[in-house]
Homo-oligomer: A and B are copies of this chain.
């Protein structure tokens, strides 16, 4: 920069100072998503260099290590930003400021010290599934001889949320080079508004390496999302191993772009340890072109590769085999059976295929319905409830199993029809919650209300929540995280925080969301700037907080 631009720079300087002064003011409340209830004081505590986990009065024994590992991860996260003085052996690099620092050491020692966190969990059970109690209570005292933060939670998974919240309260002090917690005494009561808070990833259009899926799961837990909807297979590729039908993954893009069934089990385990359920999807009868590379008879005719042929018993046998294998790995209450975009009667091959159906006295739409309902019954026989894309409801809603959850995607206003019909619903209307729609800014993600026009309390309960969808046609390892974040976080607060605490105007949370975006960056997650067009990089130099 040269001096011609000096004044412009000066103006920027004023602007930064202004923004930062606001930032400091909301400091005590920089938690994302906003808890149900927060009250706080103005006292600063210093975290002990031996900050420890205690589980006094807990019924949960942590035999699998979920809680201990979560505590270690939390400590790693709050320490990852900067080296602590206590962790850095004296190397002489601070000689010149030792006098200055001694003053601060005194200041440090004069702060009350938070010695650790005690987590008491009521339930000994550590099985994650739909509808478990995710609530927690977090209290940070500011007086007493030995200060311990206190967490009470019904389940270990509520405790994980408490640890995430606690991590967002910790700050690095650049003078003392120690960790601090501001705003003590602090009391938080928290629980999610919706039990289903999902993110879809798509490993058929582009393979996502296991390390990348794990990184997505990590980042989900930071905004308390709890369902990874894994759209595993589709027309383009069939990357997963199905032991019962070992030729299916011949439909993978390449030998190396595959998941073994053990990889899938590892991903499920990794997610569960972070309070995230994994919802597996096989999308039938459409979106199945890749299936026939291993079993050619699944292609309805020469040159036509989907939908699966309703007159072919083998199609149902193979679905049965897939779900038999899936049930051993994917323990979530639900399996997703797709059912969308089944194109009937347009192409000559489809007409040929359905003319065969007609021999069985079925119409085209009869065939579609028959397929979906039979696939539902197979899933139920394996102990699953079913999620189906909304076309199934739109076409033959009255026939769907009562165990069905209808997954909205086409547009708004669907949930109210679904719950009026007595079925459950999750919301992903594409005009607001499809992350691949790059023209949808975070404000629209934030403002999308799943309960719009649903007033009956019983019907409201049927809306289980919602899900943002990261379809993979133009997404791979290089850009998935910056396309997901920060927009998914905007939806995450909509799904977590009580409606009455959500401002009508998303602008009111912009600075707190920017702060969360910077926190994601600090944790190594490639969250994009809030400004600009969905996932664009920054247009100019500047602070993370105002981009």
- Which residues of A does B touch, CB under 8 Å? 1-4, 6-7, 9-10, 13, 16, 20, 23, 80-83, 85, 88, 91-97, 100, 172, 174, 177, 204-207, 209-212, 215, 235-237, 241, 243-244, 246, 253-263, 265-266, 286-287, 289, 293, 303-306, 321, 324-325, 328-329, 341, 343, 346-347, 349-350, 472-479, 481-482, 518, 521-529, 535, 537-545, 547
Contact = CB atoms under 8 A, between A and B. Distances in A.
A254 B23 contact: yes
Given A9-B305, A174-B260, A253-B544, A477 B2 contact: no
A329 to B, nearest CB: 6
Contacts of A321: 96
B174 A258 contact: yes
Contacts of A172: 256
Given A473-B540, A526-B478, A527-B477, A94 B212 contact: no
B349 A82 contact: no
A253 B543 contact: yes
B289 A206 contact: no
A417 to B, nearest CB: 26
Given A174-B258, A258-B174, A479-B482, A210 B82 contact: yes
A473 B210 CA distance: 32
Given A96-B244, A526-B526, A542 B289 contact: no
Nearest to A242: B96
A541 B477 CA distance: 13
A246 to B, nearest CB: 6
Given A4-B346, A82-B210, A91 B542 contact: no
A379 B530 CA distance: 41
Contact of A82 (B81, B260, B324): B260
A23 to B, nearest CB: 7
The 3 tightest CB contacts between A and B, nearest first, are A253-B543, A205-B541, A477-B521
A293 B10 CA distance: 11
Contacts of A522: 209, 211
B253 A542 contact: yes
A14 to B, nearest CB: 12
A205 B541 CA distance: 5
A296 to B, nearest CB: 13
